[in-house]
A and B are shown apart, each in its own frame.
Chain A
C-alpha cells in the first residue's frame, strides 16, 4: 500500500511538469500496479483495488486541471490601454437599429414615471432578504398558513429570495417615519424582482417583477386608495376606466382587496371583461407598529401588482418564459 501512495505522488509530480499530461495514464508504473492485483491473496485484493482506484481518480483530477492550465497558458498578452489592436484601425459600434431595451425594464420605467409624477418616491426591491422583512414585519406569524401562498425559496442560511416587493415595506415605513411625524406623508413605490418556487409554464414564472405602493398619512382612506389606483391605471392606459374590487385576504392589510379594471380600449376594450390588476388594502395596524408608527394617529394603504401581466397584455405576449430566455428573436421585437 505504501508503494501505491509513493507512485501516486510521483505520477502527480510528473503531471505538474508535463506538456502532455494525459500520456501519464499509460505509464508502466500504473500498469504494474494493475498487474499486481492477481498476485495478491484474495482477502487483500479488495483494499488494494480501492487504493488503486483512488490513485486513478487523483491522477485524473490532476491531469484535467493541468490540461486547463496548459490551455490557458498559451495566451498572448495584449496592450489593454490601446484604442485598437495593432495593424487594425478605428472601430465601429454595432448597427444602432439592432439595439433594444428589455420590455420589462422599459415598462417598469413607465410605471415608476407615472407614480413619481403622482408624488411617490421609488425604491428598488432587494433580491435576497430575511424572514422578518418578508413575513414577520408584515403580520405573518411563523407557520401562518398564509405563508403557504408564497412558495418561498430559502437559502442554507435561512435567507429568502423575496416572494413579494412588500419585503421593502418595513424599510420604507421606517425611513418615512420622521417625515410623517413632521406633518408629511409617506408615499413610495418599490419595484423589482420577486421569486416563487413554482414550475414554469406559459403563464407561470418562478422569477418575475412586481411594483408596490405604500401611502401613509393622518387621514388616508380606502376611498383614496381606490382613487389613487384608478388614477394610475387611467394615466397608464390614457383613458377613463371602470374599476371594481373584490375582498381578498393578505395578512398585511385590513381590509384586503383585489383591484380590477374593465379591459381598456388599448387592449381591445370589452365592457364586462374585468382584468385583475393587483392586490391592495389598508395597511394592517401591526405592520405600522412594527415600523414604530403609531396606528392610532396614522393610517395607510398599500398595493402590489405584477409587471409581466401589464407587458403581456400590452404586447400580446403569449408566453411568460420569453422574458428571461435571452432570445434575440424575442428581444429585438421591442424598442
Chain B
C-alpha cells in the first residue's frame, strides 16, 4: 500500500523530517519498505500558458506554439514578447490553454530514475526551433492520457512549479501491508493519519462527515424510483446499503487534483463516477461499487431488486475484466433478481458495467464476510485494492458516512442526483465492547510505569472514549472503526505501541536456580554428529519431500508416502519414508564434482503412511540416522564392511552393543527396500530390529548411478537411544598379571558365518574363570574354495595369578572344541 505524505498532511500536521517520520512509523505502527521522493521527478517543470498555437507548415500534425512561462526559466530563447517557442505534436493543443512545460535541461518524468533518463534540450523540428516540450499525463508519469497533452487548471499563474500546483512535491511511503492485517482502518488515509498524529503524541480529529454514522441524504424534489435490497443470508454480509442516482455523466472527469492524488497511490483515474468510489476507498478504507441502474433493472425483469446471497454450484458470472468464472457456494454474489451481477467485494459483473452511455447508477456501500471473501480471492485469483480492504473486515458502521460522501461527490463531480431512498439491509448490528482495566494491569503486562492519565490521553488521541472511574479503573470504548479491539490486551497493545515499546525498560524474568538438562535424545544426536564427523563423514540435510521418481528409484512404494497436494514443484510431492533415498541422490553429483571417497550422513525425521497416526491423531514420526559411504575407485572387499566398520566405530564410541544379523529374504519395508538383502544385515538390539546396513539393490544402484563401491545404513535413533540407555558400564579393572594371547585358526565351510565361531567361543570362554577378549586376525579363502580359514586371537587375563601353560592350553582347548562342535570346524 502506498501512502502519500501530502495526503496525510491534510488531516494531521507532521513536524519532523520524512526520514524521522518513517522511523517513528516503523517503531510504532508498521514497517515502511521504501520512501520515494516524488517531487524530484518534477524539478524545473512548470505550468505555462499557450499564447499562440498555429499549424506548422509542411507537417500534418505538428503545431508551433508560443508559451508564457512567466519569465521564470533562465537561458532559453525568447521572442520580443518574452514568449518561448515550443513545437507540439498533440492534436488537442489550443491557444489559451494552461499546460505543463518541460523546459530544456529538465528530465521527462516518465523516464526519471530509469536507466536512460531523457533530458530535454532545444532543437529544430521541421525547421522550427522547439524549446523543451509540452507534456502529456503519461510523460508526466501520472496516468494514461485521454486525448494528448495534459491541460491543467486555468487559475494557475504561468511559471508556477507544476509540482507545487498539484502538491506533487510529495513523498510516498510504501507500507508493508502484512502487519496491518487486523487494522482495516489503516487502509484509508484518514485512519493512517490518525495513527501518525497519535504516535507524535497528538490528538486526532476525524472529519465530522466520517463521524456521522446516521447521515442525512439531500433528496431533490423528484419522483423516487423503487430500490429493494435483501441480504438472503446474514452470515454473508452484515450490512448492505445502496442508493440510485440519475443524470450521472460518465463522460465527465473528476477534478484534476483528485486524479493526481489517485494516480500517485496507484489508482488509474477513469471518470468522475469511478473516481468517486476509488477516492473514497483510498480515503476511508471502505470500498464502493457502482452498477449501471438501467442494465441492472433489465437483468432483473424491470425491478431494481438486489440480493446478497451465496453462489450456486455451477453458476457462472462474467466479470468486468472479461473472465467468466464458475461460482461456488462459498462465493458471495450480488444478484439482481435471480441473476448474478457481481462477485461481492471482489469485482463487478460485465452485465451491469458502467460505460460511456451510463446515465443512472446504483452505488453500493456494504460489508461482507471476510472469510468468504478471502476464499473467493484465493479461488479466483483476485487481488484488487477493494478486496484487500474487505478482507481486513471493514466495520458495518462505516458504510453510511462513506455513502453519504459518495452521494455528495457524485453530484459535485458528475452532476448526478439522488432518485431513491437510501435502502439498506442491516441484519447484524455489532456494538463496541466496554473494556475496563487499571493502570496497574496495563503496567503489569507491559512492564511499564504509565499513570492512568497517560493511558487515557494516549488512547484518546486515537479517539477512543476513556474515563477514570471512582474505583480507580479506566473505562474504555473504541470508536466504531476499530473492529480489532475486543479485550483488555488489545487496548494494552495500543498504549504500549503508541508510546513506543522501545521506551519500556527491558528486564529479565525471575527464575529459580534449577539447571535445565537437555533431553537425552538431543544429547545422543549431538554425540552422533560429533562421532560421525570425527570418523571423516559429512553431515547433510535434505528436503523432507521428494519426487515420486526418487521413491521409485529407491524401490519404495509411493502409496506409503503422505502426498503434498499443493506443491510448487513435483520435486516436493511426497514425504520421505526414510532418509536413505535422498542420500543416494547425492552420491553421483558429488562424484561429478570431483569427490572420490566420502561418507554422507543425515539425522532427520521420516514419515510412512503404514506407521499410522499417534495418540494425538497426527502421523507417527520416525527419527533416524542414515549414512552412505562411496568410493569412485574400486576397492578390495565389499563396501558393506566399510559401512559396518563406521557403524561399529559409532557403537563403540557410544558403548552400545548391537548385533548384525543376516536377512533371510527380500523385505519391502521402507527402510529395507533400497537394500540388497543378500549383502545387508539387520541391525538388532536383542530381538528388536532397529535398522539396516548393507549394499544397495543392483537396480537401485543403477538408478542412482552409484559407483561399484557403495554401502550404507539407516537406524532408528529413538531405538538407538533405548539401547544406549540400557548399556551398562563395561569397564573392567586392569590386571596386575600379564595377559596371554593365542591365535587359533578354524577351517570351516564357506556357509559358516564368522559370528557362529565367535558366539561359540564366547559361550565357552564365559564358562572359564578368566577374563577374555576375542579379536579377528584373518579370514582367508582360496579361489573357488569350499572352505575358509578364520583366525581369531584369544586374550586370556587373570586377576589373581600369572597364567601357566597347562591352564592356557586347557582354556584354548575348551574354546576350540566348542567352536568345532558348533561349526564342524577343523582346527589348523
Q: Is the CB of B607 within 8 A of A83?
A: no
Question: At the interface, yes or no: A112 with Cβ under 8 Å from chain B?
Answer: yes
B781 CB contacts on chain A under 8 angstroms: 86-87
State the majority secondary structure of interface residues on B.
mixed
Question: At the interface, yes or no: A329 with Cβ under 8 Å from chain B?
Answer: yes
Question: At the interface, yes or no: A5 with Cβ under 8 Å from chain B?
Answer: no
Q: Is the CB of A324 within 8 A of B542?
A: yes
Docked complex Cα distance between A156 and B566 (Å)? 9
When C-beta atoms are compared, the residue in chain B nearest to A141 turns out to be B371
Give the residue of A78, A251, A331 whose beta carbon is less than 8 angstroms from that of B638.
A78
Question: At the interface, yes or no: B182 with Cβ under 8 Å from chain A?
Answer: yes
Question: At the interface, yes or no: A252 with Cβ under 8 Å from chain B?
Answer: no
Question: At the interface, yes or no: A121 with Cβ under 8 Å from chain B?
Answer: yes
Question: At the interface, yes or no: B742 with Cβ under 8 Å from chain A?
Answer: no
Q: Is the CB of B645 within 8 A of A95?
A: no
Interface string of A257-268 (1 = CB under 8 A from B): 110000000000
B27 CB contacts on chain A under 8 angstroms: 244-247
Q: Is the CB of B536 within 8 A of A95?
A: yes
Once A145-B392, A197-B566 are accepted as A-B contacts, the answer to whether A81 and B660 lie under 8 Å apart by CB is: yes
Question: At the interface, yes or no: B505 with Cβ under 8 Å from chain A?
Answer: yes
Q: Is the CB of A153 within 8 A of B567?
A: yes
Question: At the interface, yes or no: B111 with Cβ under 8 Å from chain A?
Answer: no
Once A96-B534, A100-B539, A249-B182 are accepted as A-B contacts, the answer to whether A84 and B374 lie under 8 Å apart by CB is: no
Q: How many residues of A contact B (CB 8 A)?
A: 112
Question: At the interface, yes or no: A215 with Cβ under 8 Å from chain B?
Answer: yes
Interface string of A96-121 (1 = CB under 8 A from B): 11111110110001001000110111
A249 CB contacts on chain B under 8 angstroms: 178-183
Total A-B contacts with CB atoms under 8 angstroms apart:
348
Q: Is the CB of A143 within 8 A of B637?
A: no
Once A72-B699, A77-B679, A331-B538 are accepted as A-B contacts, the answer to whether A120 and B489 lie under 8 Å apart by CB is: no
A82 CB contacts on chain B under 8 angstroms: 641, 753-755, 776, 779
Docked complex Cα distance between A326 and B621 (Å)? 23
Within B437-463, which residues are at the interface with A (CB < 8 Å)? Answer: 444-448
Question: At the interface, yes or no: A202 with Cβ under 8 Å from chain B?
Answer: no
Docked complex Cα distance between A285 and B487 (Å)? 10
B621 CB contacts on chain A under 8 angstroms: 126-128
Q: Is the CB of B780 within 8 A of A86?
A: yes
Question: At the interface, yes or no: A74 with Cβ under 8 Å from chain B?
Answer: yes
The minimal Cβ–Cβ distance linking B739 to chain A, given in whole angstroms, is: 20
Within B535-573, which residues are at the interface with A (CB < 8 Å)? Answer: 535-545, 562-568, 572
B506 CB contacts on chain A under 8 angstroms: 223-224, 226-227, 230, 243
Interface string of B148-188 (1 = CB under 8 A from A): 00000000000000000000000000000011111100000
Give the residue of B448, B636, B660 whose beta carbon is less than 8 angstroms from that of A85.
B636
Question: At the interface, yes or no: A290 with Cβ under 8 Å from chain B?
Answer: no
Docked complex Cα distance between A206 and B564 (Å)? 13
Question: At the interface, yes or no: B45 with Cβ under 8 Å from chain A?
Answer: no
Q: Is the CB of B445 within 8 A of A222?
A: yes
Question: At the interface, yes or no: A313 with Cβ under 8 Å from chain B?
Answer: no
A199 CB contacts on chain B under 8 angstroms: 568
Question: At the interface, yes or no: A42 with Cβ under 8 Å from chain B?
Answer: no
Once A71-B702, A144-B371, A246-B26 are accepted as A-B contacts, the answer to whether A87 and B779 lie under 8 Å apart by CB is: yes
Interface string of A204-248 (1 = CB under 8 A from B): 001100000001010111111011101100000000000111111
Question: At the interface, yes or no: A58 with Cβ under 8 Å from chain B?
Answer: no
Report which residue of A79, A184, A228 has the largest number of chain B beta carbons within 10 angstroms of its beta carbon. A79
Q: Is the CB of B564 within 8 A of A247?
A: no
Q: Is the CB of B539 within 8 A of A197?
A: no
Question: At the interface, yes or no: A164 with Cβ under 8 Å from chain B?
Answer: no
A128 CB contacts on chain B under 8 angstroms: 562, 575, 607, 618-619, 621
A120 CB contacts on chain B under 8 angstroms: 516
When C-beta atoms are compared, the residue in chain B nearest to A149 turns out to be B178
A123 CB contacts on chain B under 8 angstroms: 519
Once A91-B645, A255-B501 are accepted as A-B contacts, the answer to whether A227 and B508 lie under 8 Å apart by CB is: yes
Which are the 5 A-B pairs with shortest beta-carbon distances?
Answer: A223-B447, A94-B536, A221-B447, A85-B637, A81-B755
Q: Supply 29 A–B pairs (Cβ within 8 Å), ascending by A.
A: A71-B702, A80-B679, A82-B641, A86-B780, A93-B649, A98-B536, A99-B535, A109-B526, A127-B621, A128-B607, A128-B621, A154-B564, A155-B563, A155-B565, A156-B562, A161-B544, A185-B509, A207-B545, A217-B509, A221-B446, A223-B448, A247-B501, A249-B181, A255-B501, A256-B493, A282-B445, A299-B445, A326-B542, A328-B590
B interface with A by C-beta (< 8 Å): 26-31, 178-183, 370-372, 374-375, 378, 391-392, 444-448, 487, 489-490, 492-493, 496-497, 501-502, 504-509, 511-512, 514, 516-519, 521-522, 526, 529-530, 532-545, 562-568, 572, 575, 582-583, 585-586, 589-590, 593, 595, 597-600, 603-605, 607, 616-619, 621, 629, 636-638, 640-642, 644-646, 648-649, 660-663, 676, 678-681, 693-694, 697-699, 702, 753-756, 758, 776, 778-781, 788
- A224-B507, A244-B27 known; 14 new pairs, CB 8 Å cut-off, are A80-B681, A83-B648, A101-B530, A116-B516, A124-B522, A155-B564, A157-B562, A221-B447, A223-B505, A224-B509, A226-B504, A243-B506, A247-B27, A326-B590
